[in-house]
Every structure is written in structure tokens, then in C-alpha cells.
């Protein structure tokens, strides 16, 4: 049985979208991730980075499959 996330799917999707939207305003993707994680109260930026990577796999932008989760 998988672990239940403390973050709702809607928050995850919103956070991933926000990083894409604000990315041009920051010198790196990591800076954008850190800023958005802070704005939304996400525990660590690494959590959001993981959501972004999963989203990229799900949309075919990055190689991988569900087994990589």
C-alpha cells in the first residue's frame, strides 16, 4: 500500500504550473522551485522538484515510466 500524501493533487498541479509560469523571472529552475515552494507552504523545494519530474515523465517530456516513482 502506498503512502498517503499530505498534499492534495490540486496543490501539486498548481505548484507545477506556477513553476513553469514564473521560471523566466528567476536565474534557474531551482530558484523558481524554491520560491514557489515557499509561497505555497510546501515542506521542501525537493518535494516540488520531484512533482515536476513526475509531471515531465507523465507528459512525455522526460523519459521514464511509473516504475520510476
33: enclosing H helix or E strand = helix 29-40
Q: How sure is the predictor about 63, in pLDDT bands with cuts at 50, 70 and 90?
A: confident
Residue 21: inside a domain, yes or no?
Answer: yes
Residue 54: inside a domain, yes or no?
Answer: yes
Residue 3: inside a domain, yes or no?
Answer: no
Average pLDDT over residues 50-66: 86
Please name which of 33, 24, 31 lies closest in space to residue 53, comparing C-alpha atoms. 33
| CATH code: domain of residue 14 | 1.10.10.10
The per-residue pLDDT for range 12-49, each reduced to its tens digit, is: 999 999 999 999 999 999 999 999 999 999 999 999 99
Residue 30: inside a domain, yes or no?
Answer: yes
- Dig out the grid coordinates for 47 from the structure: 518535494
Does residue 54 carry a pLDDT above 70?
Answer: yes
The per-residue pLDDT for range 4-13, each reduced to its tens digit, is: 778 999 999 9
Range of the structural domain that residue 49 is part of = 9-61
Residue 27: inside a domain, yes or no?
Answer: yes
HSE-CB for 55 with a 13 A CA cutoff: 16
Residue 36: inside a domain, yes or no?
Answer: yes
Amino acid at each position: 500500500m502506498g503512502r498517503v500524501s499530505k498534499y492534495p493533487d490540486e496543490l501539486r498541479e498548481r505548484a507545477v504550473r506556477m513553476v513553469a509560469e514564473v521560471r523566466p523571472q528567476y536565474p534557474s529552475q531551482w530558484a523558481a522551485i524554491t520560491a514557489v515552494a515557499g509561497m505555497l507552504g510546501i515542506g521542501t523545494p525537493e518535494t516540488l522538484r520531484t512533482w515536476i519530474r513526475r509531471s515531465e515523465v507523465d507528459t512525455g517530456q522526460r523519459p521514464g515510466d511509473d516504475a520510476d516513482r
